């Protein structure tokens, strides 16, 4: 009977302690309590100077409904030693969350440019008179990698005016515009013109060209169409392709017979060349 009395006494004491914890400790019957769970981060790999979105799920395990507009969510970040660093904007929630219900929210964060390595963060639910914290989650941040600025447009404009006793007043214009493309490609447009008391304003010497590692396409006025040795100024279209050390070009166009006449010769040309060494190449032309 003594043994049974001790057992009953211990059970009564344990029951009394549990009642104190339940009623006064706020463990089960707390007004506000929650279970925090991170669903995912978008993107999964965080990088400095990029935005990341935390998708969180929070279960209301308290006894009171979280009233719309009376509570906010945000995230605090910490360094590798769990020292506080910063926090996101507070997002006020406009929806009731009853006890037992699950709240899903997206919280965005702009990662500072100097972040790199392992960090921690906590989800915070803030009420008017109480704040609930989650446990620490790990956040891996890739270092910032600056992207080199690629200039896409370049060019030049030259405008000149000359007025001297020996030369009639003349205005000249040279325009060159280049659109730089990825992988070493580019588009280029150039033209020039002049005007004087005896020459009406006009633009001439148009040239539009496309360049890549294996192909060149040009249309307009050429200073040297195929070769400086075999063909001078001409107007037409030229295509050139490169296959390793071998280059092939074709030209179709026309050129004036002389500067004093408007008569033109129509011409077609082919050119083939090969680079025997870095300093020596062999070529042949047919016009």
CATH of domain 28-142: 2.70.50.60
pLDDT confidence of residue 1: 46
At residue 149 the predicted structure's pLDDT band, cuts being 50, 70 and 90, is low
Q: What is the pLDDT of residue 221?
A: 83
pLDDT in tens, 5-21: 666 666 666 655 555 44
What CA–CA distance (Å, rounded) separates 255 from 174?
A: 22
Q: Is the link from the previous residue into 214 a cis peptide, with omega within 30 of 0?
A: no
Q: What is the pLDDT of residue 184?
A: 77
**H/E element holding 222?**
strand 215-222
- Domain residue ranges of the chain, discontinuous segments joined by +: 28-142, 152-209, 214-287
d(CA 150, CA 144): 18
- The Cα 52–Cα 265 span in angstroms is 66
Q: What is the pLDDT of residue 267?
A: 82
How high is the pLDDT of residue 230?
63
Which contacts of 189-196 are long-range, i.e. CB under 8 A and separated by 24 or more positions? 194/170, 195/170, 195/171, 196/168, 196/169, 196/170, 196/171
On average, the pLDDT of the chain sits at 82
For residue range 51-109, what is the model confidence (pLDDT) as tens digits? 999 999 999 999 999 999 999 999 999 999 999 999 999 999 999 999 999 999 999 99
Neighbour count for residue 120 (Cβ, 10 Å): 19
The answer to pTM > 0.75 is: no
Q: Map tokens 């506080």 to a residue.
A: 84
pLDDT at 21: 42
> Nearest to residue 103, comparing CAs of 139, 136, 78, 67?
67
240 to each of 35, 94, 189, 214, how far by Cα in Å? Answer: 69, 66, 18, 8
- Lowest pLDDT segment from 117-126, 135-144, 263-272: 263-272
Lowest mean pLDDT of 1-15, 135-149, 219-233, name the range. 1-15
């Amino acid at each position: 009977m003594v043994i049974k009395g001790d057992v009953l006494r211990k059970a009564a004491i344990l029951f009394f302690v549990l009642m104190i914890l339940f009623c006064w400790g706020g463990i089960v019957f707390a007004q506000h309590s929650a279970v925090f769970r991170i669903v995912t981060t978008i993107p999964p790999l965080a990088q400095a100077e990029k935005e990341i979105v935390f998708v969180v799920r929070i279960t209301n395990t308290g006894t009171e409904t979280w009233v719309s507009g009376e509570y906010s969510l945000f995230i605090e970040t910490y360094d590798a030693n769990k020292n506080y660093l910063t926090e996101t904007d507070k997002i006020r929630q406009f929806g009731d969350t009853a006890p037992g219900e699950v709240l899903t929210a997206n919280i965005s964060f702009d990662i500072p440019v100097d972040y790199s390595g392992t960090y921690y963060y906590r989800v915070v639910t803030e009420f008017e008179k109480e704040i609930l914290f989650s446990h620490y989650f790990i956040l891996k941040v890739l270092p910032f990698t600056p992207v080199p600025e690629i200039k896409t447009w370049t060019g030049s404009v030259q405008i000149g005016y000359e007025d001297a006793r020996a030369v009639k007043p003349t205005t000249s214009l040279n325009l060159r515009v280049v659109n730089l493309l990825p992988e070493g490609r580019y588009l280029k447009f150039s033209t020039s013109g002049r005007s004087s008391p005896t020459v009406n304003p006009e633009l001439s010497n148009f040239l539009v060209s496309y360049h890549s590692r294996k192909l060149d396409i040009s249309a307009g006025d050429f200073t040297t169409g195929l070769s400086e040795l075999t063909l001078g100024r001409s107007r037409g279209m030229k295509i050139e392709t490169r296959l390793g050390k071998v280059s092939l070009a074709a030209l179709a166009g026309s050129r004036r017979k002389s500067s004093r006449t408007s008569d033109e010769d129509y011409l077609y040309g082919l050119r083939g060349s090969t680079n025997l060494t870095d300093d020596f190449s062999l070529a042949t032309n047919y016009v």
